[in-house]
């Protein structure tokens, strides 16, 4: 079958985590996986991320391109895509369920969706890590009834809808994924049953309460797009 989706992964110094994601993509039961292009947008890694990505060329159609901040890398990969759908993944996630990609695509086609996401769980996380991701999943569920909310860990877009919204705002210095997802029409957004796995390193670097405070500020400024264009010290801290 012809490829119908392009996978785009922004990365910087992810030589340790990226292979876990790519191995999980190899295990997906989506029948078009062998023809699906996987674009890694590398933001000047110095730890062998590019080599780690290219080592999968015997199993996946991997291409490495120049990246930058996540919004820049994601848009760069999207500009190269000609497929109907785009899947944005963070480099430190895994797809533990081999059916997830196939089921998400089925939902996108069947419901004529513009955006689909899934739940997030923490790999080897503690109580507070799991509690915060459970809170994120809850807010995504609320968003399915009010204002869509999805993170860049897993965002499957219909390509034309993605560009109609303008893609990721490359001027955004904070929560660029939420800034984009909230522009999707409520009826064109769904949460696919299942989960992805990620790490707790964001919490380790920033602290749980800092992450909670940033999340609260994101929600309370959801109607103020200019807020996301101002430096909130996220990248300085991370």
- Burial class of residue 164 (count of CB atoms within 10 Å of its CB; 0-12, 13-18, 19+): exposed
Does residue 232 have a pLDDT over 90?
Answer: no
pLDDT at 195: 96
Phi, psi dihedral angles at 182 (to 5 degrees): -70, -10
pLDDT at 117: 96
Task: State the DSSP code for 81.
Answer: -
Does residue 178 have a pLDDT over 70?
Answer: yes
Answer for the pair 117, 100: CB distance below 8 angstroms, yes or no. Answer: no
Does residue 35 have a pLDDT over 70?
Answer: yes
Task: State the DSSP code for 167.
Answer: S
Task: State the DSSP code for 227.
Answer: G
Quick one: pLDDT band at residue 224, thresholds 50, 70, 90? low
Structure tokens at 207: 């602290």
Could you say which architecture CATH assigns to the domain 5-237? Alpha-Beta Complex (3.90)
Does residue 203 have a pLDDT over 70?
Answer: no
Does residue 237 have a pLDDT over 50?
Answer: no
What are the tens digits of pLDDT across the range 80-125? 999 999 999 999 999 999 999 999 999 999 999 999 999 999 887 7
Could you tell me what percent of the chain has a pLDDT over 70? Answer: 83
Lowest mean pLDDT among 70-74, 95-99, 128-132, 193-197: 128-132
Does residue 65 have a pLDDT over 70?
Answer: yes
pLDDT at 215: 64
Q: Considering the chain, what is the average pLDDT of its residues?
A: 88
For residues 190 and 183, what is the distance between their CA atoms, to the nearest angstrom? Answer: 14
Q: Which residue ranges make up each domain of the chain?
A: 5-237
Phi, psi dihedral angles at 191 (to 5 degrees): -105, 120
Does residue 164 have a pLDDT over 90?
Answer: yes
Does residue 70 have a pLDDT over 80?
Answer: yes
Q: How far apart are the first and last CA of the chain?
A: 41
Tell me the mean pLDDT in the region 37-61.
Answer: 97
Task: Give the Å distances, CA to CA, from 42 to 10, 16, 76, 88, 230.
Answer: 6, 14, 10, 14, 24
3-state secondary structure of 66: strand
Does residue 238 have a pLDDT over 50?
Answer: no
CA dihedral 95, 99, 105, 108 (to 10 degrees): -90
Residue 14 or 230, more confident: 14
Tell me the mean pLDDT in the region 26-35.
Answer: 96
Lowest mean pLDDT among 16-30, 167-181, 193-207: 193-207
Does residue 145 have a pLDDT over 90?
Answer: no
> Among 24, 2, 7, 3, which residue's Cα sits nearest to residue 152?
7
pLDDT at 202: 65
Residue 53 or 182, more confident: 53
For residues 187 and 113, what is the distance between their CA atoms, to the nearest angstrom? Answer: 8
Pairing of strands 154-158, 189-198: unpaired
Cross-strand partners of 35: none
Quick one: pLDDT band at residue 222, thresholds 50, 70, 90? low
Answer for the pair 166, 75: CB distance below 8 angstroms, yes or no. Answer: no
Phi, psi dihedral angles at 157 (to 5 degrees): -110, 145
> Among 119, 113, 102, which residue's Cα sits nearest to residue 4?
102
């Amino acid at each position: 079958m012809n490829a119908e989706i392009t996978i785009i992964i922004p990365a910087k110094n992810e030589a340790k985590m990226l292979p876990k994601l790519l191995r999980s993509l190899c295990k997906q039961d989506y029948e078009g996986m062998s023809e699906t292009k996987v674009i890694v947008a590398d933001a000047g890694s110095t730890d062998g991320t590019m080599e780690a990505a290219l080592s999968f060329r015997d199993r996946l159609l991997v291409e490495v391109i120049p990246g930058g901040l996540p919004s820049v890398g994601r848009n760069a990969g999207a500009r190269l895509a000609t497929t109907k759908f785009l899947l944005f993944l963070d480099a430190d996630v895994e797809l533990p369920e081999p059916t997830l990609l196939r089921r998400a695509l089925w939902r996108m086609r069947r419901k004529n969706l513009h955006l689909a996401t899934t739940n997030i769980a923490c790999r080897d996380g503690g109580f507070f890590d799991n509690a915060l991701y459970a809170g994120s999943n809850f807010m995504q569920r609320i968003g399915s009834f009010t204002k869509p909310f999805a993170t860049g860990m897993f965002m499957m877009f219909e390509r034309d809808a993605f560009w109609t919204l303008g893609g990721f705002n490359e001027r955004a210095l904070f929560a660029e994924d939420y800034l984009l997802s909230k522009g999707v029409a409520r009826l064109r957004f769904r949460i696919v049953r299942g989960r992805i796995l990620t790490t707790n390193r964001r919490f380790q670097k920033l602290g749980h309460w800092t992450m909670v405070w940033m999340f609260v500020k994101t929600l309370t400024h959801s109607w103020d797009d200019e807020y996301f264009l101002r430096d909130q010290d996220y990248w300085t801290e991370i």
